[in-house]
């Protein structure tokens, strides 16, 4: 990989905008990558273990007429994380947006709390986005601007004790979204997008998902397209920073004692 200094970062004029989407081989990350490609972005598809899915996503993006590359990195590896933005610049000629979609999402509750599981969640869900923002800020030339979009969760506004370590890590990322927006402006805008239940998770059944998805004031939670639309808006809205868009059909307005994914009959 060529080491590209910030002064060598290509100007936005005359090239397509480039986004790095973490965890873009599967599920919501794949939908975000394809949605941004349809909106005119070239895409770096990050993956950890889903190489075949990432390569398929790259082919799908190229079929849309956009450039795309697959980049491997374990988000628990600091060196690999720091290399991702520069590798994107090297391969695609620039980097205008990082979407921190990849998340560790393992179940625990206060009664079975483990420091090691919390540390693993913090490394993937907090430290990696912070490192990526730091590296992107270093790449943006004076007078330029890029954006970081952090995928959060509506449950941060409607707490329950399920998924303790995950929730703590995402709570920290929500706070970091504000602090990074303060510290890294004007070179970086930093925006959060907080979905509701969007896709079947874990051992949830299709019927259970449908029931949980409907428990909102609007009668439905977020769809993958809703998340894509919100990310594309955040990436384009030049006056938006330090804010989080709740895209959940109002799910955060309905108090629950358990995580919404457990609302099955």
Q: What are the tens digits of pLDDT across the range 57-89?
A: 999 999 999 999 999 999 999 999 999 999 999
Q: Which residues of 35-47 are buried (b: 16+ CB within 10 A; e: fewer)?
A: bbbebebbbbbbb
pLDDT of amino acid 220: 87
Q: Please report, for residues 18, 79, 91, 172, the alpha-carbon distance to residue 45 in angstroms, rounded to integers and kept in the order given.
A: 11, 18, 12, 25
pLDDT for 6: 32
Mean pLDDT across the stretch 12-31? Answer: 91
Question: Residue 260: its pLDDT value, please?
Answer: 72
* pLDDT confidence tier of residue 175, bands split at 50, 70 and 90: very high
How many C-beta atoms surround the C-beta of residue 83 within 10 A?
17
d(CA 76, CA 121): 9
pTM for the structure as a whole: 0.91
pLDDT tens-place string over residues 192-247: 999 998 877 766 687 777 777 788 889 988 999 999 999 999 999 999 999 999 99
- Give the pLDDT band (50/70/90) at residue 263: low
Rounded Cα distance, 229 and 233, in Å: 6
Q: Is the pLDDT of residue 135 over 90?
A: yes
Q: Which residues have C-beta within 8 Å of that of residue 116, sequence separation ≥ 6? A: none
Q: Give me the percent of the chain exceeding a pLDDT of 90.
A: 79
Question: What share of the chain has pLDDT > 70, as a percent?
Answer: 92
- Mean pLDDT of the 146-151 span: 98
Instruction: Record the tokens describing residue 163, joined without a space.
Output: 């998924």
Tell how far CA 79 is from the center of its chain.
Answer: 20
Supply the pLDDT for residue 208. 76
pLDDT computed for residue 130 by the predictor? 98
Residues 130-135 have a mean pLDDT of 98
**What is the per-residue pLDDT for 212?**
77
- Dist CA 226 CA 212 (whole Å): 17
Q: pLDDT averaged over the chain? A: 91
pLDDT at 161: 94
First to last CA, the chain: 52
């Amino acid at each position: 990989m060529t080491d590209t200094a910030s002064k060598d970062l290509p100007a936005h004029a005359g090239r397509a905008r480039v986004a790095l989407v973490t965890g873009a081989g599967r599920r919501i990350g794949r939908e975000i990558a394809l949605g941004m490609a349809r909106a005119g972005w070239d895409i770096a598809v990050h993956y950890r273990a889903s190489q075949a899915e990432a390569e398929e996503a790259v082919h799908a993006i190229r079929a849309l007429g956009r450039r795309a590359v697959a980049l491997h990195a374990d988000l628990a590896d600091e060196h690999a994380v720091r290399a991702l933005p520069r590798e994107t610049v090297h391969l695609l000629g620039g980097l205008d947006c990082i979407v921190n979609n990849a998340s560790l999402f393992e179940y625990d509750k206060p009664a079975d709390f483990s420091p090691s599981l919390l540390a693993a969640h913090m490394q993937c869900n907090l430290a990696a986005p912070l490192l990526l923002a730091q590296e992107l800020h270093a790449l943006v030339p004076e007078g330029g601007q890029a954006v970081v979009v952090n995928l959060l969760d509506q449950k941060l506004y409607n707490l329950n004790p399920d998924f303790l370590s995950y929730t703590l890590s995402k709570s920290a990322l929500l706070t970091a979204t504000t602090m990074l927006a303060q510290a890294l402006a004007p070179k970086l805008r930093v925006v959060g997008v907080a979905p509701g239940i969007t896709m079947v998770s874990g051992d949830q059944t299709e019927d259970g998902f449908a029931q949980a998805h409907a428990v909102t004031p609007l009668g439905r939670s977020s769809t993958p397209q809703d998340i894509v639309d919100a990310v594309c808006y955040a990436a384009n809205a030049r006056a938006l920073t330090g804010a989080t868009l709740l895209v959940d059909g109002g799910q955060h307005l309905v108090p629950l004692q358990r995580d919404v994914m457990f609302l099955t009959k």
